[in-house]
Structure 1
């Protein structure tokens, strides 16, 4: 079987706001596929999911370093078509998912690792074929389809890191967590928390989304548009009225101010996003953070060690990531970008990559 030398791919050419929409993302039919090294795996990518980061990079709104032009996106699931001569952890046919920061194997990340972030400083997943080091892949949970597994790289791993990454404060049965909205990280956090026997307080902007959160297992749902003091409400509704143990903080100044009101003494606020607060909202003061008596921890996705542990838990508890009902394909991928940008989704937006496996006939 001859290995592919080129692949169709979506390339982020620039990061600026001068062009409307996603015109900085271009489709190419023949992007080079690197030669397979002795420690590498050739992967046929079957599904890719979108993150907020993927949308703001071409719009010039991403605050971290980039190395463009670059193949877009970081989340991917697929099957291994070939392995290098020194690869022992995988073999042909294995189902795998990508690691966001390819060099982050365990422990805390170091600055030099950030040159290996997929879809930003290293070529990403929005292509049919890709070569990754074996260390940059993890075995996919056996209970998931490629479409579901294609969502795991960033959002669920971020949620897992938020709840379990600080070992001394790891989520345990009986804890209470607070999630914000219906993005991928928040939904995954709800699933992990319920599997662990924790209580979930979820905030959302609509009654319709609130009902869907309740179906997912949220014990208490607060509509933050109707209750601007939702942080105080969450604390009052928490067991013992002492506050929540974990908060998955996805917003900005506005949500952080309320999170500080909801957290219990010694609790953990995991800051994972920069979606922004209401216009004109001031940053919480140092005194407010001091008074809360909590740990505020920034989350940078997670390591391969955490990804492997999370995938085992997903398999053991038969957890299925929440995928939006509208699925896109490689050719209309930018419609998926726009769909998520307009916040039409509930759960992860997935792009399925069509095409036969090498050596197989289509259909």
Structure 2
């Protein structure tokens, strides 16, 4: 094993030029309960982009290795490690201390790629509790797509104990990013029906090929929330994964069913809307609106069992970047040229 590695770090928050590559960074030291992972794949999320633009609202530190999503093989283990052995295929957990149940004040600060060094490097050391086995039906790029987007979609559909996704439910997804496509796949595997929104005819056809029952072009139909509700026979949608933020929330509220759940997972449409819905809108629509920050290790393992059982294959963008091309990958994703998960191959 080499003594140094290639590694990217976040050197500031003024843009992608603050992403710095070190060709001779040290290999992390291994503690007694640590696992050394040789990364083979990573994937990017919107979160990685906005960290470098100073827009991320959660804990982060300067100099961190970016990217929460990494998959690889176990290269070595500490003397007290019992969950993994050399050669195992593993994936990083987003919040390293979020093992089960709800987040708390500490676990919310343990984000990989935010405060804990992430996957845009050749080797990483993690506590054995902060890794999960990779589904046996996936390759490393597919496995690396699960940490943030996959688990966020799973939590959005199954994370509220009193209102888990049920067969026959309607699910509404927005766009063709990683979370939205995972939600389509998980919902269809569960016997639910899916309405997807998108901005183009080509993307609409792709969404249908992944199982979407109905697709609405939001550029042609600015009142897509009411249209979605009509498509359910007026009953409304039971689960909405809200990725747009304030600029799409008003339409989501028009689409939601009584006792439906809107899971807010992002703000791709911007953090400020012209007219933001209020708490009274939740009351008048008799629905639950919840914020979701990825999910726990227990949920991750539950999701992976479902991925194996249903042979679900994550949708990976046709363009795969090399580790040395990470900065170009960030710009490619910022320009919204990707479809599904944007991945980086690591050698």
Flag structure 2 segments of 5+ consecutive residues without an equivalent. Answer: none
Q: Secondary structure at the match of 1:70?
A: coil
Question: Is the 8 Å Cα contact of residues 78 and 95 (structure 1) preserved in structure 2?
Answer: yes
Deviates more, 1:26-35 or 1:154-163: 26-35
Residue 301 of structure 1, CA deviation: 0.3
Question: Is the 8 Å Cα contact of residues 5 and 34 (structure 1) preserved in structure 2?
Answer: no
Which of 143, 148, 165 is equivalent to 2:142? 148
Whether 1:294 aligns to 2:287 is yes
* Alignment correspondent of 1:329: 322
* Alignment correspondent of 2:191: 197
* Alignment correspondent of 2:79: 85
* Alignment correspondent of 2:207: 213
Residue 241 of structure 1, CA deviation: 1.4
Taking the aligned partners of 1:280 and 1:201, their CA distance within structure 2 comes to: 23
Question: Is the 8 Å Cα contact of residues 255 and 277 (structure 1) preserved in structure 2?
Answer: no
Question: Is the 8 Å Cα contact of residues 114 and 121 (structure 1) preserved in structure 2?
Answer: no
Deviations 1:198-250 (A, max 9, x none): 00000001111001000111000000010011000000111x41101000000
Question: Is the 8 Å Cα contact of residues 183 and 347 (structure 1) preserved in structure 2?
Answer: yes
**Using a 3 Å threshold, how does the CA distance of structure 1 residues 43 and 59 change in structure 2: closer, same or farther?**
same
Which of 154, 167, 174 is equivalent to 1:180? 174
* Alignment correspondent of 1:357: none
* Alignment correspondent of 1:318: 311
Deviations 1:271-298 (A, max 9, x none): 0002135986211133222111100010
Question: Is the 8 Å Cα contact of residues 246 and 272 (structure 2) preserved in structure 1?
Answer: no
**Using a 3 Å threshold, how does the CA distance of structure 1 residues 254 and 168 change in structure 2: closer, same or farther?**
same
Taking the aligned partners of 2:271 and 2:157, their CA distance within structure 1 comes to: 26
Question: Is the 8 Å Cα contact of residues 247 and 273 (structure 2) preserved in structure 1?
Answer: no
Query: Runs (4+) of structure 1 moved beyond 6 Å?
Result: none
* Alignment correspondent of 1:35: 29
* Structure-1-length-normalised TM-score: 0.93
Counting only pairs closer than 5 Å after superposition, residues 4-19 of structure 1 correspond to structure 2 as 4-15=2-13, 17=14
* Alignment correspondent of 2:219: 225
**Using a 3 Å threshold, how does the CA distance of structure 1 residues 101 and 4 change in structure 2: closer, same or farther?**
farther
Residue 122 of structure 1, CA deviation: 1.1
Question: Is the 8 Å Cα contact of residues 59 and 111 (structure 2) preserved in structure 1?
Answer: no
* Alignment correspondent of 2:113: 119
* Aligned residues: CA RMSD: 1.3
* Structure-2-length-normalised TM-score: 0.97
Q: Secondary structure at the match of 1:322?
A: coil
Question: Is the 8 Å Cα contact of residues 35 and 127 (structure 2) preserved in structure 1?
Answer: yes
Whether 1:100 aligns to 2:83 is no
Q: Secondary structure at the match of 1:307?
A: helix
Question: Is the 8 Å Cα contact of residues 263 and 269 (structure 1) preserved in structure 2?
Answer: yes
Deviates more, 1:252-261 or 1:60-69: 60-69
